[in-house]
Amino acid sequence: MMELHVWEGEAKYGLPSMDLKSLQMMAYVKFSGAPVTIIKSSNPFKSPTGKLPVFKCTEGAFSEFSEVTTFLRKQNFSCDYELSARQCSEVVAYEQLMLEKLYPALIYLWWVEPKSYYEVTHKWFFSNMPFPHKFWYPRRYHQGYCDLINSMFDDPDDSQLVETELHKQAQECLTMLSNRLGDREYFFGRTPSTIDAVIFSYLALLLKVDLKVPVLQNHIKACPNLSRFVSKAIQRFFPSEGLRGAGSRESPGKDDMPHKGRNLLLSGLVALSAMFGYAIAAGLVQVDMGEPPTEEEYDYEYDDYNNEEGSSGE
Q: Are residues 22 and 119 in the same domain?
A: no
Residue type, 230: V
Q: Are residues 131 and 88 in the same domain?
A: yes
> Hey, which residues does 55 pair with through a beta bridge?
4, 62
Q: Quick one: average pLDDT of 175-186?
A: 95
Q: Are residues 110 and 204 in the same domain?
A: yes
CA 122 to chain centre: 14
Q: Are residues 37 and 122 in the same domain?
A: no
Between 79 and 263, where is the model more confident? 79
212 assigned to some structural domain = yes
Position 273 scores a pLDDT of: 54
115 assigned to some structural domain = yes
Q: At 212, which CATH number? A: 1.20.1050
Q: At 62, which CATH number? A: 3.40.30.10
Grade residue 45 by pLDDT with cuts at 50, 70 and 90.
confident
Q: Quick one: average pLDDT of 184-195?
A: 91
Q: Are residues 89 and 233 in the same domain?
A: yes
Longest dimension (CA), the chain: 62
Whether the per-residue pLDDT at 309 is higher than 90: the answer is no
Position 13 scores a pLDDT of: 94
Grade residue 263 by pLDDT with cuts at 50, 70 and 90.
very low
307 assigned to some structural domain = no
Grade residue 187 by pLDDT with cuts at 50, 70 and 90.
very high
Q: What share of the chain has pLDDT > 70, as a percent?
A: 76
Beta strand 2-7 pairing with 36-41: parallel
Q: Are residues 73 and 88 in the same domain?
A: no
Q: Are residues 72 and 132 in the same domain?
A: no
Peptide bond into 132 cis (omega under 30): yes
Q: Quick one: average pLDDT of 191-216?
A: 95
Strand ranges inside the chain, DSSP E: 2-7, 36-41, 54-57, 60-62
185 assigned to some structural domain = yes
Q: What angle do CA 5, 212, 53 make, to 5 degrees?
A: 10
Between 35 and 288, where is the model more confident? 35
- Picking from 221, 237, 253, the residue at the C-terminal end of a domain is 237
Q: Which domain holds residue 113?
A: 84-237
297 assigned to some structural domain = no
- Picking from 237, 252, 287, the residue at the C-terminal end of a domain is 237
271 assigned to some structural domain = no
Q: Are residues 88 and 232 in the same domain?
A: yes
Structural domain tally of the chain?
2
Q: Are residues 56 and 100 in the same domain?
A: no
What are the DSSP calls for 166-223, one per residue? Answer: HHHHHHHHHHHHHHHHTT-SSSSSSS--HHHHHHHHHHHHHHHS--SS-HHHHHHHTS
Q: Quick one: average pLDDT of 161-178?
A: 96
- Picking from 237, 257, 282, the residue at the C-terminal end of a domain is 237
Q: Are residues 155 and 187 in the same domain?
A: yes
d(CA 156, CA 294): 19
Q: Are residues 102 and 180 in the same domain?
A: yes
Kindly report the pTM of this predicted structure. Answer: 0.77
299 assigned to some structural domain = no
277 assigned to some structural domain = no
> Hey, which residues does 38 pair with through a beta bridge?
4
- The pLDDT tens digits of the residues spanning 124-161 come to 999 999 888 888 888 998 999 999 999 999 888 888 99
Position 283 scores a pLDDT of: 53
Q: Are residues 135 and 186 in the same domain?
A: yes
Whether the per-residue pLDDT at 171 is higher than 80: the answer is yes
Grade residue 238 by pLDDT with cuts at 50, 70 and 90.
very high
